[in-house]
């Protein structure tokens, strides 16, 4: 049961859930920027083939015979710009190629493309160029199957392609000098045994530091926990141990980014009968990248406010934690501008999907001890994300500044740039000169639309009926900026733990013992909290019950009332949660707000992987007379 318990607590931390006092800080931060003009255009992709069948990518569809893509998203992912801002790197699955020895047979399978972002074409007339197609087999040995988050190095010479690095021998990637014969692709290897043997660790969510030599990543433990790491890329031309035994990049000087000291690492800890909510904690739940200067690590962290999932940043040397987003809705993928002055996040705030549970500000993150998985699982409906790109200055959300929706222009009609049925995916990116943002979107598809879902499936307006598209937002009033000087990161981060190959992975994140506690408001008042163990899974907390008495975390936001959430894990499926929720909370002062469930409570069945909302009863948040309701079942 020990491992299962760890698994469960880790799931909670992994999918979720800490930074700075926005309201009180806003006084010290520069005033927010005004909205700016933004033009949006869509980038061309290879033509769509009607099927995956051999030869389905006919000369009629692609006369130059350089590949076709599918209607469905498949393995598609768009990444960052080349240095000149004229191209974007994307991972596609090319389908319908003829059989070998037809020269067109190389345009097949998961490949890395540059697509034109300047309205021009490559010399052959195509608006794209395949960087990975036709690379001789001995120059691309034992590649890692993971090809996500394609990203051009700051130098512009190499591309991070999932867990591989593409190198064009120093040639400009877009130039005619960058040919398959000149190209090498190397897998990335994380040695994780002291003798270097075996296939190594399994990283995920890999992101490159702007110095082009360090990487950050997340990794599940064998028991399902998730921890995050930072290390240096070291080319190993002729490895003598470990698999693959092919030229590769080894991850060396690895750091574990989750501090072992409870006061540095735990979002909430118990001390003398009190629960202390620890905003200084470094709670790297899932790593999301780096600031533009590379001085901060960006991550999904433990919430600072109830049911409100945000991105945080921690300084690589000082360990100072800042909260980048605070809007009650859910935030996840993000990218910083190379000049370090802006970031763009994918966030559900335009849809206000999560407001019914997260809308009340400055409610402390107590029910989250059990409810964080549910809070982050309700953000999607099946494969549908509700993300739109939001442009925020380097200081983050503050006061009543919540950034600017990048794609707000448009008439919301089918296929418009702000059509709510087209939703943002990971990762967005800025151009090097800071004047453009690229992001990609996927169209809602069954089961998130069409019977029995009340939302009719829209007809795609993209070429070939494709259900994904790559967009560029031009920040037309901006002058070009220079990338910030890249921060010299030490190989060993002072607040992290060195994690040499063979180090034991920590068993689990911190856990709180069941019991009765008090919590003090940062300003005044307090709350009584009861944490109850799960009778079905010893060691796991099932219930959090909180009674607020004039609780104030943020000046002017006075909280009274009661909230209790119990979460059952529907074993054997550890991802399936049954949530029983009772809220009757009133907030007075700066706002008149309430968070209330229907008399018999709100009962939510939610699966953390399939994300289908099924509830009886209601949970409603009301702010100054505006009511926020839960989504309808199945939507
Ligand atoms: C999609 O196109 C089909 C065929 O023209 C049409 O019957 C259907 O109503 C369209 N769907 C929507 C949501 O407009
Ligand atoms: C918590 O308080 C309740 C009464 O409010 C009591 O029944 C229970 O035993 C207490 N639990 C612990 C662990 O002290
Ligand atoms: C809702 O109520 C129905 C009927 O009692 C029950 O079958 C179902 O399991 C309930 N669902 C949830 C999420 O509570």
Pair (251, 263) in one structural domain: no
If you average pLDDT over residues 335-364, what whole number do you get?
98
Give the confidence band of 4 by pLDDT, cuts at 50, 70, 90. Answer: very low
Within-domain flag for 502: no
Average pLDDT, the chain: 94
CATH number of the domain where residue 269 is located: 2.120.10
Pair (208, 272) in one structural domain: no
User: Considering only CA atoms, which residue is closest to atom 13 of ligand 2?
Assistant: 515
In this model, does residue 300 exceed pLDDT 70? yes
Last residue within a domain, chosen from 232, 255, 278: 255
Any ligand 3 atom below 6 A from CB of 579: no
Last residue within a domain, chosen from 255, 282, 302: 255
pLDDT at 506: 85
pLDDT at 9: 38
pLDDT at 27: 57
DSSP E strand stretches across 351-464: 388-393, 404-405, 422-424, 429-430, 436-443
φ, ψ of residue 4 to 5 degrees: the values are -65, -40
Q: What is the percent of the chain with per-residue pLDDT over 70, rounded to a whole number?
A: 95
Any ligand 3 atom below 6 A from CB of 616: yes
pLDDT at 78: 98
The string of pLDDT tens digits covering residues 610-625 is: 999 999 999 999 999 9
The pTM of this model reads 0.95
Within-domain flag for 120: yes
Pair (278, 410) in one structural domain: yes
Pair (79, 217) in one structural domain: yes
Pseudo-torsion of CA 227, 231, 236, 240, nearest 10°? -50
Per the structure, how many domains does the chain have? 3
**Alpha carbon of 60 to those of 101, 133, 170: distances in Å?**
20, 21, 36
> What is the extent of the structural domain holding 577?
515-629
If you average pLDDT over residues 19-44, what whole number do you get?
78
Within-domain flag for 7: no
User: Considering only CA atoms, which residue is closest to atom 1 of ligand 1?
Assistant: 459
If you average pLDDT over residues 41-58, what whole number do you get?
97
Pair (234, 315) in one structural domain: no
Q: State the CB neighbour count (10 A cutoff) for residue 465.
A: 13
Those residues with Cβ within 8 angstroms of residue 504's Cβ, 6 or more apart along the chain or in another chain: none
pLDDT at 36: 98
If you average pLDDT over residues 546-565, what whole number do you get?
98
Any ligand 3 atom below 6 A from CB of 614: yes
pLDDT at 21: 38
Within-domain flag for 28: no
The string of pLDDT tens digits covering residues 372-430 is: 999 999 999 999 999 999 999 999 999 999 999 999 999 999 999 999 999 999 999 99
Pair (417, 446) in one structural domain: yes
Within-domain flag for 587: yes
Pair (448, 582) in one structural domain: no
If you average pLDDT over residues 578-585, what whole number do you get?
98
Within-domain flag for 455: yes
Are 243 and 593 in contact, with CB atoms under 8 Å apart? no
Within-domain flag for 578: yes
Give the confidence band of 65 by pLDDT, cuts at 50, 70, 90. Answer: very high
User: Considering only CA atoms, which residue is closest to atom 14 of ligand 3?
Assistant: 603
Any ligand 3 atom below 6 A from CB of 56: no
Q: Which of 455, 458, 459, 460 best tests ligand 1's pocket when mutated (most atoms within 8 Å of CB)?
A: 459
Pair (283, 202) in one structural domain: no
The string of pLDDT tens digits covering residues 593-605 is: 999 999 999 999 9
Any ligand 1 atom below 6 A from CB of 456: yes
Within-domain flag for 27: no
Pair (447, 551) in one structural domain: no
Any ligand 2 atom below 6 A from CB of 516: yes
**Which ligand has an atom closest to residue 513 CA?**
2
């Amino acid at each position: 049961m020990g491992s299962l318990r760890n698994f469960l607590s880790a799931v909670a931390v992994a999918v979720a859930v800490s930074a700075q006092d926005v309201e009180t800080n806003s006084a010290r931060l520069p005033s927010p920027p005004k909205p700016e003009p933004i033009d949006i255009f869509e980038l061309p992709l290879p033509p769509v083939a009607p099927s995956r069948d051999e030869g389905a990518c006919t000369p009629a569809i692609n006369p130059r015979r350089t590949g076709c893509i599918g209607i469905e998203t498949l393995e598609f992912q768009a990444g960052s710009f080349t240095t000149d801002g004229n191209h974007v790197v994307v991972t596609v699955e090319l389908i319908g190629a003829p059989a070998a020895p037809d020269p067109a047979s190389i345009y097949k399978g998961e490949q890395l493309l540059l697509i034109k972002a300047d309205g021009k074409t490559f010399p052959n007339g195509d608006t794209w160029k395949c960087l990975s197609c036709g690379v001789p087999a001995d120059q691309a040995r034992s590649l890692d199957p993971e090809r996500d988050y394609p990203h051009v190095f700051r130098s512009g010479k190499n591309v991070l392609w999932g867990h591989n690095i593409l190198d064009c021998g120093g040639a400009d990637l877009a130039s005619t000098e960058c040919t398959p014969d000149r190209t090498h692709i190397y897998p990335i290897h994380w040695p994780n045994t002291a003798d270097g043997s075996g296939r190594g660790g399994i990283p995920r969510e890999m992101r490159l530091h702007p110095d082009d030599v360090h990487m950050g990543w997340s990794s599940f433990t064998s028991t399902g926990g998730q921890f995050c790491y930072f290390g240096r890329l070291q080319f190993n031309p002729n490895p003598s141990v470990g698999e693959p035994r092919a030229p590769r990049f080894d991850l060396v000087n690895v750091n574990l980014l989750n501090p072992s000291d409870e006061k540095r690492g735990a979002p909430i800890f118990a001390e003398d009968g009190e629960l202390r909510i620890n905003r200084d904690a470094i709670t790297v739940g899932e790593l999301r990248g780096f600031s533009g200067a590379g001085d901060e690590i960006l991550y999904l962290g433990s919430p600072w406010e109830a049911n409100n999932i945000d991105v945080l940043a921690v300084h690589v040397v000082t360990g100072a934690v800042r909260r980048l987003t605070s809007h009650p809705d859910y935030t996840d993928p993000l990218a910083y501008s190379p000049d370090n002055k802006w970031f763009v996040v994918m966030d559900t705030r335009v849809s206000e999907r999560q407001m019914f549970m997260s809308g009340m500000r400055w409610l402390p993150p107590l029910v989250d001890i059990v409810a964080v998985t549910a809070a982050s699982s309700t953000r999607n409906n099946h494969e549908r994300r509700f993300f739109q790109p939001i442009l925020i200055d380097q200081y983050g959300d503050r006061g009543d500044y919540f950034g600017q929706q990048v794609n707000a222009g448009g008439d919301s009609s089918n296929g418009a740039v702000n059509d709510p049925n087209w939703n943002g995916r990971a990762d967005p990116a800025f151009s090097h000169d800071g004047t453009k943002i690229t992001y990609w979107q996927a169209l809602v598809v069954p089961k998130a639309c069409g019977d029995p879902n009340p939302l009719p499936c829209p007809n795609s307006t993209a070429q070939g009926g494709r259900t994904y598209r790559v967009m560029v937002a031009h920040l037309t009033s901006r002058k070009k900026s220079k990338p910030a000087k890249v921060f010299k990161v030490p190989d060993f981060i002072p607040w992290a733990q060195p994690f040499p190959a063979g180090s034991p992975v920590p068993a689990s994140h911190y856990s709180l013992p069941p019991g009765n506690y008090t919590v003090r408001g940062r300003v005044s008042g307090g709350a009584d909290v009861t944490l109850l163990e799960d009778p079905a899974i010893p060691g796991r907390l099932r219930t959090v019950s909180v009674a607020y008495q004039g609780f104030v975390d943020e000046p002017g936001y006075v909280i009274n009332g009661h909230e209790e959430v119990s979460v059952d894990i529907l074993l054997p499926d550890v991802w399936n949660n049954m949530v029983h929720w009772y809220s009757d909370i009133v907030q007075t002062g700066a706002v008149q707000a309430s968070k209330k469930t229907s008399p018999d409570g709100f009962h939510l069945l939610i699966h953390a992987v399939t994300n289908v909302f099924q509830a009886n009863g209601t949970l409603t948040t009301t702010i100054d007379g505006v009511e926020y309701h839960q989504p309808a079942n199945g939507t």
